[in-house]
Structure 1
Amino acid sequence: MKKIVFKHGRVIDGYQDKPLQDGLVVIDNGTIVYSGKMDEVILEHYQDAQVVDLSGKTIMPGMIDAHVHLTLAGEPSYLHTLIMEDAKLTVIKGIERAKKALNAGFTTIRCLGEKGQIDVYIKKAIEEGVIVGPNILASGKAITITGGHGDMFPGDIEIDGIATIVDGEDAVRTATRKQLKLGVDNIKLMATGGGMSPGDARISQLTIAEMRVAIEEAEKYGKLTAAHAIGEEGINNALEAGVRTLEHGTYISDKGIEIIHRTGAYLVPTLAAFKTLKYGKEGGVPEYHLKKVQAFKDAHFINLRKALDAGVKVITGTDAGTPFNLHGENAYELECLVEAGMTPMEAIHAATRVAAEALKLEDKGMLKEGYIADLIVIDGNPLDDITILQHGKVEQVYKQGELVYNTI
Structure 2
Amino acid sequence: MSDTVVLRGATLIDGTDREPIAHAVLAVRGETIVATGEGEIPEGARILDCSGKTIMPGLVSNHAHVGLVDGADVGPGHYTRPNILRQLAQYEAYGVTTVTSLGLNGALFCELRDEMHAGKHPGADLFGVDRGVGVPNGAPPEAMFPLGNDQLFRPRTPAEARAAVREMADRRTDFVKLWLDDFAGALPVKMSPAIYEAVIDEAHARGVRVAAHIHDLEDARAVARAGVDLIAHGVRDAPVDEAFVRLLEANGTWYVPTLALDESTFAYAERPVWTADLFTQHALQPALRARFDDPAWRARTLHEPKSAAARASLATNLRNLKTLHDAGISIGFGADSGGTPLRVPGVSEHRELALMVEAGLTPLQAIRMATRHAAALLQLGDRGVLAPGKRADFIVLDADPSHTIANTKAISAVWHRGRPVRGPIETFVP
**CA positional deviation for 1:379:** 1.1
Whether 1:243 and 2:228 are equivalent positions in the alignment is yes
| Equivalent residue, structure 1, for 2:122 | 132
Amino acid corresponding to residue 183 of structure 1 in structure 2 = R
Task: Write the mapping of 1:366-385 to structure 2, written as runs, cut at 5 A.
Answer: 366-385=385-404
**CA positional deviation for 1:103:** 0.9
For residues 14 and 348 of structure 1, the distance between their equivalents in structure 2, rounded to whole angstroms, comes to 7
| Equivalent residue, structure 1, for 2:321 | 304
| Equivalent residue, structure 1, for 2:19 | 18
Instruction: Pick from 58, 65, 77 the counterpart of residue 62 of structure 1.
Output: 58
Amino acid corresponding to residue 378 of structure 1 in structure 2 = L
| Equivalent residue, structure 2, for 1:86 | 77
Instruction: Pick from 213, 216, 219 the counterpart of residue 231 of structure 1.
Output: 216
Q: 1:116 to 1:198 in 2, by over 3 A?
A: farther
Q: 1:75 to 1:86 in 2, by over 3 A?
A: closer
**CA positional deviation for 1:194:** 2.7
**Matched-pair contact (CA < 8 Å) for 2:27–2:33:** yes
**Matched-pair contact (CA < 8 Å) for 1:280–1:324:** no
Whether 1:190 and 2:191 are equivalent positions in the alignment is no
For residues 100 and 302 of structure 1, the distance between their equivalents in structure 2, rounded to whole angstroms, comes to 31
Q: 1:158 to 1:398 in 2, by over 3 A?
A: closer
Please list every run of 5 or more consecutive structure 2 residues that lacks an aligned counterpart in the other structure: 271-296
SS in 1 for 2:265: helix
Q: Deviations over 1:323-354 (max 9, x none)?
A: 42201212111001000110000000000111
Task: Write the mapping of 1:3-402 to structure 2, written as runs, cut at 5 A.
Answer: 3-37=4-38, 39=39, 42-43=40-41, 45-47=42-44, 49-73=45-69, 81-82=74-75, 85-86=76-77, 90-152=80-142, 159-160=148-149, 162-194=151-183, 198-199=186-187, 204-207=190-193, 209-250=194-235, 251=237, 253-254=240-241, 255-273=243-261, 274-279=263-268, 282-283=297-298, 287=304, 289-290=306-307, 292-321=309-338, 322-329=340-347, 330-390=349-409, 393-402=410-419
**Matched-pair contact (CA < 8 Å) for 1:87–1:115:** no
Q: Deviations over 1:261-298 (max 9, x none)?
A: 11111211111112112235835669564464345333
For residues 287 and 86 of structure 1, the distance between their equivalents in structure 2, rounded to whole angstroms, comes to 28
SS in 2 for 1:260: helix
Q: Deviations over 1:27-65 (max 9, x none)?
A: 22311221121x4xx32x331x22111111111211111
Please list every run of 5 or more consecutive structure 1 residues that lacks an aligned counterpart in the other structure: none
For residues 232 and 401 of structure 1, the distance between their equivalents in structure 2, rounded to whole angstroms, comes to 42
**Matched-pair contact (CA < 8 Å) for 1:111–1:137:** yes
For residues 143 and 69 of structure 1, the distance between their equivalents in structure 2, rounded to whole angstroms, comes to 15
For residues 389 and 187 of structure 1, the distance between their equivalents in structure 2, rounded to whole angstroms, comes to 31
**Matched-pair contact (CA < 8 Å) for 2:63–2:335:** yes
For residues 130 and 259 of structure 1, the distance between their equivalents in structure 2, rounded to whole angstroms, comes to 42
Amino acid corresponding to residue 303 of structure 1 in structure 2 = N
**Matched-pair contact (CA < 8 Å) for 1:120–1:138:** no
- Comparing 314-323 with 54-63, greater Cα deviation is found at 314-323
Q: 1:25 to 1:188 in 2, by over 3 A?
A: same
SS in 1 for 2:24: strand
**Matched-pair contact (CA < 8 Å) for 1:108–1:134:** yes
SS in 2 for 1:313: coil
SS in 2 for 1:148: coil
**Matched-pair contact (CA < 8 Å) for 1:188–1:225:** yes
Q: 1:129 to 1:297 in 2, by over 3 A?
A: closer
For residues 181 and 390 of structure 2, the distance between their equivalents in structure 1, rounded to whole angstroms, comes to 37
**Matched-pair contact (CA < 8 Å) for 1:123–1:135:** yes
Aligned residues: 389
**Matched-pair contact (CA < 8 Å) for 1:186–1:223:** yes
Q: Deviations over 1:225-249 (max 9, x none)?
A: 2111111221012212222221112
Amino acid corresponding to residue 317 of structure 1 in structure 2 = G
**CA positional deviation for 1:73:** 3.4
Q: Give the % identical residues.
A: 27
For residues 198 and 347 of structure 1, the distance between their equivalents in structure 2, rounded to whole angstroms, comes to 32
Q: 1:194 to 1:122 in 2, by over 3 A?
A: farther
For residues 73 and 87 of structure 1, the distance between their equivalents in structure 2, rounded to whole angstroms, comes to 6
**Matched-pair contact (CA < 8 Å) for 2:110–2:171:** yes
SS in 2 for 1:342: coil
Q: 1:92 to 1:189 in 2, by over 3 A?
A: same
SS in 2 for 1:71: coil
TM-score, normalised relative to structure 2:
0.82
**CA positional deviation for 1:311:** 2.4
* Aligned alpha-carbon RMSD (Å): 2.8
Q: Deviations over 1:191-240 (max 9, x none)?
A: 21236x9327xx75242x53344334434554332111111221012212
For residues 83 and 164 of structure 2, the distance between their equivalents in structure 1, rounded to whole angstroms, comes to 26
